[in-house]
Structure 1
Amino acid sequence: MEKTIWGSPAGKKRLAKRLVAMLPAHKTYVEPFAGSAAVLFEKAASDVEAINDADTAIADAYRLIQKLTPAGMAKLKKLPWVGDEKTFKSLFDAKPKGDVERLHRFLYLTHFSYGKLRGRSFSPNGMGVEAKTLARIEQFAPRLKRVKVYSGDYEKVVRKYDGKDTVFFLDPPYPGYNVDVGEGDFDEERFYGVLKSLKGRWLMTYGIRGKLPGMLKGSGFLVKRIRTPRTIAAMRGVGGSSVLTQLLVSNYQPAAKALEGGSDFAVDDWQPEESPDTASFLATMPLLKGVEPDDERYVLGIVLEPETVDAQGDVYSAAEIRQAAHRFMAEFGGLGLMHQMRVNGHVKVLESYLAPVDFNLGEVPVRKGTWLLAVRVLSDELWGRVKDGQLTGFSIGGTARRLPEASPTTEPPPSDTPAADSQPEAA
């Protein structure tokens, strides 16, 4: 049985059953950051329920499903639901006529896009596969009938429904994860202020990056770390670690049984690291084209170069670069586009290696310890952007623990403090 109508980046459908078991008794239930609303669809209906999303397209889709008539459903069934890149591109550029076409466009693009982000890139894993979206609508549409749907700033909805009989499930954007769901504009300090002011009880899932985890120390809230394995299906075409680590936070004590771990769910106490500071980093290096005359789409690029100052004024040692390169191949092995979406299937990683000595690659000097990456660009669209100069280099970004440079009077930092989470992107 399906768990949501559509997928969502970092959605909670695999955790939904456990999260519902953690919710206290309530009369009003609110999800201010709905996404795919996995927890709502998993739980029993409450007297009053409301969902909100800052993405107007998501809220619009929920409203369209709420008012979908049998005639509208019949029309929806006649539209294409099998993955096809030409259909995908046509719908991406289309201007729908009427509610049914608008709903179909949203659902098709969501289902068949990379990472469920409704971006321009079609996921080749969906080619020829029929979406189960129609069955999901029939399953979940009745559950939505009495739910109030909002689109806009989360705080307005939170204030409207806050009270002693209200429970909120909060799954806001996670700053530092580059998923392109609003994390770049999310004000963590403002959000923390809202959390402290709520009268109702709330349960929140959150990433381990950004400012908020540090603010939670000493807050009096219950803070746990949860780790869940990422299945092959969840990782396909997206890349990422085999284990997903998140924070579970609440202003009440969930039932002890609900917090018990298992083979698919590990939970323990968590405290933010005291030091050193965690900071974002970004380094961009140019692509080298035409290295292989017989393979036009073979592109070689420098990912990181040792002892070179990046855009944030940071320097990476050869040992740190080596560890980042090894972790990339062991846990990620895929590429992203502009730090927003994965393009596995459109770009094939051919080589990843560390320069054993100083040498020249054509007219480009390469220093010993430099991390180089070679790819073949399979997508005509992406190759056109490379040739036109729109995509000019590999850009690696993520978070790292920042340490001061050692001085003669300072003991050097340990050698095992490389970039904590990094992955190359095309930029």
Structure 2
Amino acid sequence: MGETLSKALARARQVLESLQGKEPVEKTIWGSPAGKKRLAKRLVAMLPAHKTYVEPFAGSAAVLFEKEAVDVEAINDADTEIADAYRLLQKLTPAGFTKLKKLPWKGDEKTFKSLFDAKPKGDVERLHRFLYLTHFSYGKLRGRSFSPNGMGVEAKTLARIEQFAPRLKRVKVYGGDYEKVVRKYDGKDTVLFLDPPYPGYDVDVGEGDFDEERFYGVLKSLKGRWLMTYGIRGKLPKLLKDSGFVVKRIRTPRTIAAMRGVGGSSVLTQLLVSNYQPAAKALEGGDDFAVDDWQPEEAPGTAPFITTTSLLKGVEPDDERYVLGVVLEPETVDAQGDVYSAAEIRQAAHRFMEEFGGLGLMHQMRVNGQVKVLESYLAPVDFNLGEVQVRKGTWLLAVRVLSDELWGRVKDGQLTGFSIGGTARRLPEASPAAGPPPSAPPAADTPPEAA
């Protein structure tokens, strides 16, 4: 009876993207958190002529797959499973590809969980496990959580292997620390594209800490030319700007396909940094690409914050997995000794719905699809919720927990409240009698988390 629901949804998404004036972005062989497929053509146009090309933080290697091959090419990833997958693709035979075709490629939670716990020994089976888990996991992080958006959807991975795998034939593949590969291939005829982890973006892309000082030292010592994309947080951007490197701010739209679950920021802001001047034509702005000079924000008085509050309603027999909690309360001293006004909380709550609208787990990864936001509102008056007094202007958030795993953690008392994180600028208090020093409006860089 016509197309399946999953196909209908995919077709609807393409129509909506077309109405936005944006074509859907086709992945390379697999997707990668914060991958550069959308920017790949522009980035390739910015690269100078070279004989050796290196991607020390390959991920999905979108730039490599977009550019013409040169004499020497090398890619590396700290995730050794990614490096292993590239090597398996390089030696995949026609017989192996035929065998790969016979394995499951449709989204199914039971298959996903079975593969997650499996320890395949054969090359084809290892490759299939990696590709399947990457395609159908939340955030492409190959975590234990299956994305329900993929249920019943046929992956396009096999067609992408046919299209892109031949490009890997002469590429050297490494796994482990980036510096060893950088040092091995650095030289006057070398160009490097760098897309390292972005500190301070754990919730968005699941990345951990990154040693910016060490990386900065490596960048300053390179003989070759390098182009880098980076986040706007952390210490490195200011260090690079102060050292005279070319630092531009770029903004690209997030189309529906790139939205982070429910809602999502309409614009993705990153830095484009290089030790040479990219071609002016490649830096021309357009409807899908805004570029300007970047200046570091004033550092003094700026500090990260995390505020955690308890759930007001949790496990009850008839609650249908409904969880309600306070996110921020006005005129209440938090763990950093700061106080938020009702106006500041209103601004943060509205920004959350406009630019984020999804949730993360323990400030590490998105759980959109496992948790649905049902209500986000500001208390219009003082009122009591059971034995808890809620003050006017308090931001409350209600969610329904869809995941059995997460719901079990709520019931067991492992997840006990919402936590919001971000950055704020301290302002001097008006007078000694004014109470604790107020903060600027919470930036809410990190949306509320289950904590």
Q: TM-score range by the shorter chain?
A: over 0.9
- Mapped contact 1:322–1:354 kept (Cα < 8 A): yes
- Mapped contact 1:284–1:396 kept (Cα < 8 A): yes
Instruction: State the shift of 1:232 in Å.
Output: 0.3
- Mapped contact 2:305–2:423 kept (Cα < 8 A): yes
User: What is the TM-score when the length of structure 2 is the normalising length?
Assistant: 0.89
Change (3 A) 1:372 1:379: same
Instruction: State the shift of 1:190 in Å.
Output: 1.1
Instruction: State the shift of 1:316 in Å.
Output: 2.4
Choose the corresponding residue for 1:414, options 438, 442, 446. Answer: 438
Most deviating of 58-67 and 343-352: 343-352
Instruction: State the shift of 1:135 in Å.
Output: 1.0
Instruction: State the shift of 1:2 in Å.
Output: 4.2
- Mapped contact 1:31–1:37 kept (Cα < 8 A): yes
Give a deviation string over 1:107-128, Cα, whole Å, max 9, x none: 1111111111111221121111
Most deviating of 393-402 and 292-301: 292-301
Mark the runs of 5 or more structure 1 residues left unpaired by the alignment: none
Distance 2:263 2:145 in 1: 15
Change (3 A) 1:117 1:405: farther
- Mapped contact 2:339–2:436 kept (Cα < 8 A): no
Instruction: State the shift of 1:382 in Å.
Output: 1.6
- Mapped contact 2:425–2:439 kept (Cα < 8 A): no
Distance 1:263 1:381 in 2: 42
1:292 aligns to what? 316
Instruction: State the shift of 1:369 in Å.
Output: 2.0
Instruction: State the shift of 1:149 in Å.
Output: 0.8
Distance 2:349 2:148 in 1: 26
Instruction: State the shift of 1:238 in Å.
Output: 6.7
- Mapped contact 1:9–1:179 kept (Cα < 8 A): no
Distance 1:391 1:90 in 2: 26
Partner SS, residue 365 of structure 1: strand
Instruction: State the shift of 1:420 in Å.
Output: 5.2
Give a deviation string over 1:75-134, Cα, whole Å, max 9, x none: 111111011111111111222232111111111111111111111221121111111101
Distance 1:351 1:125 in 2: 22
- Mapped contact 1:401–1:419 kept (Cα < 8 A): no
- Mapped contact 2:193–2:226 kept (Cα < 8 A): yes
- Mapped contact 1:227–1:246 kept (Cα < 8 A): yes
Give a deviation string over 1:27-69, Cα, whole Å, max 9, x none: 0000011000000000000110111111111111111111111
- Mapped contact 1:224–1:270 kept (Cα < 8 A): yes
Change (3 A) 1:337 1:410: closer
State the number of aligned residues: 427
2:413 counterpart of 1:393: no
Instruction: State the shift of 1:221 in Å.
Output: 0.6
Instruction: State the shift of 1:377 in Å.
Output: 1.3
- Mapped contact 2:331–2:341 kept (Cα < 8 A): yes
Instruction: State the shift of 1:293 in Å.
Output: 6.1
Partner SS, residue 163 of structure 1: coil
Partner SS, residue 199 of structure 2: coil
Instruction: State the shift of 1:414 in Å.
Output: 10
User: What is the TM-score when the length of structure 1 is the normalising length?
Assistant: 0.94
Give a deviation string over 1:239-283, Cα, whole Å, max 9, x none: 531100000000001111011011100011111112454322111
Choose the corresponding residue for 1:167, options 191, 198, 220. Answer: 191
Instruction: State the shift of 1:411 in Å.
Output: 14
Instruction: State the shift of 1:332 in Å.
Output: 1.5
Partner SS, residue 41 of structure 2: helix
Partner SS, residue 406 of structure 1: coil
- Mapped contact 2:315–2:410 kept (Cα < 8 A): no
- Mapped contact 2:54–2:191 kept (Cα < 8 A): yes
2:274 aligns to what? 250
Most deviating of 34-43 and 320-329: 320-329
Most deviating of 240-249 and 344-353: 344-353
Most deviating of 310-319 and 364-373: 310-319
Change (3 A) 1:420 1:387: closer
- Mapped contact 1:238–1:342 kept (Cα < 8 A): no
Identity %: 92
Distance 2:438 2:156 in 1: 51
- Mapped contact 1:280–1:398 kept (Cα < 8 A): yes
Distance 1:17 1:399 in 2: 33
Distance 1:280 1:415 in 2: 11
Instruction: State the shift of 1:310 in Å.
Output: 3.3
Instruction: State the shift of 1:348 in Å.
Output: 1.7
Change (3 A) 1:420 1:385: closer
Distance 1:101 1:316 in 2: 54
Change (3 A) 1:62 1:348: same
Change (3 A) 1:238 1:349: closer
- Mapped contact 1:227–1:245 kept (Cα < 8 A): yes
Most deviating of 252-261 and 365-374: 365-374
Change (3 A) 1:363 1:101: same
- Mapped contact 1:239–1:342 kept (Cα < 8 A): no
Computed over aligned residues only, the root mean square deviation of the Cα atoms, in angstroms, reads: 2.3
Choose the corresponding residue for 1:319, options 339, 343, 367. Answer: 343
Change (3 A) 1:152 1:404: farther
- Mapped contact 1:30–1:49 kept (Cα < 8 A): yes
Choose the corresponding residue for 2:117, options 82, 93, 96. Answer: 93
Most deviating of 268-277 and 125-134: 268-277
